[in-house]
Structure formats: structure tokens, C-alpha cells
Amino acid sequence: MTDTPILHVDMDAFYASVALRERPDLVDQPVVVGGSGRGVVLAANYVARRYGVRSALPMTRVRRLCPHVVVLPPDYDTFTSVSASVMETFREVTPIVQAVSLDEAFLDVRGSVRRLGAPVVIAEQLRSAIHDEQGITCSVGVAATVSVAKLASRRAKPDGVIVVPPSEVTTFLHPLDVGELYGVGEKTQALLQRFGLVTVGDVAHTPVRTLQRAVGHHLGSHLHDLAWGTDRGDLTPTAGPHEPERSMGADETFSRDTDDRDVIVRELLRLSARVAGRMRAAGVAGRTITLKVRFADFTTITRSRTMSEATDVTVEIHRAVTRLYDALGLQRARLRLVGVRVEGLVPRSTVHRQLVLGEPEHGWAEADRAVDLATRRFGSAAVRPASLVVERA
DNA sequence: TCTGGGGTCCTAGGACCC
DNA sequence: TCTGGGGTCCTAGGACCC
């Protein structure tokens, strides 16, 4: 038996560490993985962090903070395959693995201690296995609950392990900044601060009703639980066929702001095709179609429309978002970003389409299937709508 | 040449139904 | 004929996470 059965394993600077396996010559240099132009940092190695470089920082600021930083482009195929191998290593320890993202997971090792040893021993075994197999380091938090394990792994970084036994939970939690709690971002932290609540201990000693008045009913009671480390925190194993997504979407920031309707409608077509293609690959269709528009000043609005029937057809999604866009009646507003999202996803097999006699929808669905087939065979650059083909002079 | 892209969940008001 | 209460769906926005 153990009183700290939950492990939170978090890769250190995951994207950067994976990218550096190919470039060992750069390990002592400041390195970030990120986009170009208007992109942000996806991951920064610990050398870059000494300059104040962090995830989500705009690249323009990164270059100011650290002019000699090396920027590597993300290689998601490699990240995905390294992640899959790491998750496989976790499942050799316990079947109860809940992946949070490519680079972190919770493990319930309750059933493994007799075979493998105490949780802290398992944590060290995992760390050396991942280091040997993948050439990257990770940190592990060990605790009785999910939320405490998560905070412990952050404290353990980089390349360490921290165990927080139940008797030490409040001593560990209460001095922390409220912003460390899962679910407390910039806004909520500022809100709590106005109530004089700065540390986790402050939140713990505030009546639930008061918290709920400050931050809303749900979050208020949630924060109170987190502040005492009493969240239930049962794991939902993500092995095998995972839960279907509730929505799928794609958005894109223009390389420069635009008010050109042709450019915008063409981008909406590209995004609609991308989303619809992923939906068909996943075998889902959806009824609610949402347009997202971000203006040059970064204000963002959404407009959605729920259809009578679910679709996975590119031209139907494109037509819906184009109507929503035109209904905005924008004149010369410059847009920074547009996005397309489809919600209310259901398995494609449950959709029975009521085709209006003579409507050519059938033809569009078949055109999509032909595109999917050609894409699988020749790659995504091979097939695209005519309006997306750039003529070569 | 500040501020990505993929998501999830919550809130709140109004419509509509019983 | 003077006003209720619950449930669900839709829409829009916002906060948050990695």
C-alpha cells in the first residue's frame, strides 16, 4: 500500500529537448522551438530561460531579450512519435495512464508497488528509462492527488523528483502563489488579489461562499478543494481508443493584417478544407459551425450557426462561415486572424442526411472523398480547391 | 515587428416548451 | 388576463490549459 499513488510526469522543455537530439552541437546555446514571423515560443531550453525567454513569448521579444538565440522549427511528427514511445514506457509500469498532452501524463501506480517498489522508486526508474531510450529528461511529482502531484512536478524541474506525503500537503501548498493552482490564470489571479487573496493559504482560509461570489460558483468551490489538496482526482486512463473530440477547428494568423474579402474568403476555404478533412479522417460530423475573427487590435469575436443536420463536407462548412463573415458587414476592418470550428461532433455513421431532391450536396461529399484519397496517395499539396492554386507566372 | 494554434469548460441571457 | 418554474437548446464571450 502507498499513500502517494499518483505520479505526474512532465518532460523538461519537451520540444526543445527533442529538437536538440538532432543538434547536440547546440546544447550549450540558447535554443527555442517556435514559429517564424508573428509566432511565439513553443519551448525554450534552460540556457534560453536564463535570458528570461519563456513559452508563449512572442518571437519579436525573444530576439530582443536574446539576440543570439537559435530558433528551430517544430517537427510535430517527431514530437508525436517520441511522445508515443514515452507513453508506452509509462504503460509498462501501470495501465492507469492519463495523458494530458504530448509531454505530460498522470500515472496511478497503486497496483505496481508490490512488483516495482515505492512510488519514488518507480519515478526514478521511469526517469532513467526515458533518459536512456529517448535522450531527454523529465521531472516527476509524487502525491496522493492529481493536483498536488502536478504542482510537485513543477517544483521538481528540471530533471528531479519531489514527493509530497499527505501529512505535508498543506505545508507544501499554502505558501504557493494562487496563480500556481490549475485553473487560475492571469485574470482570476488579479481578481483574487483584489480580495486580498495572494497565496494558496489565503484561498484555503476563505469561506467557499465568498470565493464563489468572487470568481463564480464552480470555480469557487473548485479552488477551495485545490487549496486543501482534497480534489478527488481519479484518473481517466487514455490508453487505447480515446474519447472522441467535442470540436475540431483551425485558425490562422495572417502574415499581415488584411481587409481584402477575397483573401479572407480564400483563407476560410483553406481552413474549412483542413477541418473537414480531419473530421472525415476521424469519422465525425458536426452541426454547429463557428467563425472566429480577430481584429488588428486583438479583440476577438465569434459567430456561430447550428444547422439542422451534421456535416463533414468542405463546401458546406465554407458556405456557412462565409455567410457568417458577410453578415458581420465589415467594411474596412483589418483582420489579424480568422478561424473555423465545428462543434457538436457525432460519429459520421449516426448521421442520416435528408437530401433535398435535386440538391447537388451528394456530389460535394463525393468530391471530398476523392480529395481524401488523392491526399493520402500524393500528399496534401497535390489536391486543393481551384481558388487556392497559385498561378505561376 | 508585441501577443500561435489546438482544444475544454463555464456563464449568462433569451427562446421555447411543458 | 397579470404572471411560475423547470428544462433544454442556441448564441456569444471569456478564461484557461498545453
pLDDT digits (tens, 9 = 90+) for A33-45: 998 889 999 999 9
Q: Where in chain A is the domain with CATH 1.10.150.20?
A: 174-228
Name the nt closest to A41 by C-alpha to C1': B4
- Residue A321 is predicted with a pLDDT of 98
The CATH T-level fold of domain A1-167 is: Alpha-Beta Plaits (3.30.70)
Q: Where in chain A is the domain with CATH 3.30.70.270?
A: 1-167
Name A15's Cβ contacts closer than 8 Å, sequence gap at least 6. A33, A42, A43, A74, A79, A103
Whether the predicted pLDDT of A393 surpasses 50: no
| DSSP strand pairing (A97-101 vs A41-44) | unpaired
For A155-190, write each residue's pLDDT tens digit: 999 999 999 999 999 999 999 999 999 999 999 999
Number of other CB atoms surrounding residue A52 within 10 Å: 12
pLDDT band at A150 (very low <50, low <70, confident <90, very high): very high
CATH number assigned to the domain covering A174-228? 1.10.150.20
- Residue A389 is predicted with a pLDDT of 72
For A16-32, write each residue's pLDDT tens digit: 999 999 999 999 999 99
- Residue A289 is predicted with a pLDDT of 98
What is the spatial distance between Cα A60 and Cα A62, in angstroms, rounded to a whole number? 5
Chain A span 200-229 residues with beta carbon within 7 Å of strand B? 216-219
Q: Is A168 a catalytic residue?
A: no
Instruction: Please indicate if the annotation marks A312 as binding a ligand.
Output: no
A171, A162 Cβ separation under 8 angstroms: no
What is the spatial distance between Cα A136 and Cα A20, in angstroms, rounded to a whole number? 9
pLDDT band at A392 (very low <50, low <70, confident <90, very high): low
What is the spatial distance between Cα A253 and Cα A328, in angstroms, rounded to a whole number? 19
pLDDT band at A146 (very low <50, low <70, confident <90, very high): very high
What torsion, rounded to 10 degrees, do the Cα atoms A159, A165, A166, A169 define?
Answer: -50
For A363-389, write each residue's pLDDT tens digit: 788 788 787 887 777 777 667 777 777
Nearest to A289 by CA among A347, A346, A340, A353: A340
Task: State what percent of residues in chain A have pLDDT above 70.
Answer: 95
Q: Where in chain A is the domain with CATH 3.30.1490.100?
A: 247-388
What is the spatial distance between Cα A95 and Cα A71, in angstroms, rounded to a whole number? 37
Where are the alpha helices (H) located in chain A, listed in sequence order?
14-21, 46-49, 59-65, 76-93, 113-116, 119-134, 146-156, 169-173, 186-194, 200-204, 208-215, 217-228, 261-282, 314-327, 361-378
Mean pLDDT of A127-152: 97
Distance A265 CA to B17 C1' (A): 39
| B11 C1' closest Cα residue | A216
What is the spatial distance between Cα A369 and Cα A372, in angstroms, rounded to a whole number? 5
What is the spatial distance between Cα A279 and Cα A105, in angstroms, rounded to a whole number? 26
- Residue A232 is predicted with a pLDDT of 67
Of A124-138, A268-282, A350-364, least confident by mean pLDDT is A350-364
Distance A292 CA to C9 C1' (A): 21
Catalytic residue among A22, A104, A168, A366: A104
Instruction: Please indicate if the annotation marks A10 as binding a ligand.
Output: yes
Q: Is the CB of A247 under 7 A from strand C?
A: no
Whether a cis peptide bond, with omega within 30° of 0, leads into A67 is no
- Residue A87 is predicted with a pLDDT of 97
User: Bridge-partner residues for A99, per DSSP?
Assistant: A105
- Residue A162 is predicted with a pLDDT of 98
- Residue A358 is predicted with a pLDDT of 52
Nearest to A159 by CA among A47, A27, A10, A5: A10
- Residue A346 is predicted with a pLDDT of 95
What is the spatial distance between Cα A94 and Cα A7, in angstroms, rounded to a whole number? 11
A163-183 as b/e: b if 16+ CB within 10 A: bbeeeebeebbbebebbbbee
Residue of higher predicted confidence among A364 and A279:
A279
Give the CATH H-level superfamily of domain A247-388.
Answer: DNA polymerase, Y-family, little finger domain (3.30.1490.100)
State the average pLDDT for chain A. 92
- Residue A385 is predicted with a pLDDT of 74
Q: Is A37 exposed, middle or buried (0-12, 13-18, 19+ CB in 10 A)?
A: exposed
What is the spatial distance between Cα A176 and Cα A150, in angstroms, rounded to a whole number? 13
Chain A span 282-341 residues with beta carbon within 7 Å of strand B? 297-298, 336-337, 339, 341
Of A77-91, A127-141, A349-363, least confident by mean pLDDT is A349-363
- Residue A63 is predicted with a pLDDT of 94
pLDDT band at A77 (very low <50, low <70, confident <90, very high): very high
Whether the predicted pLDDT of A81 surpasses 90: yes
- Residue A240 is predicted with a pLDDT of 55
Whether the predicted pLDDT of A362 surpasses 60: yes
Cell of A198: 495572494
- Residue A378 is predicted with a pLDDT of 76
Q: Is the CB of A300 under 7 A from strand C?
A: yes
Cell of A106: 498522470
Of A204-218, A304-318, A348-362, least confident by mean pLDDT is A348-362
pLDDT band at A213 (very low <50, low <70, confident <90, very high): confident
- Residue A356 is predicted with a pLDDT of 53
Residue of higher predicted confidence among A357 and A299:
A299
A70 φ, ψ (degrees, to nearest 5): -100, 125
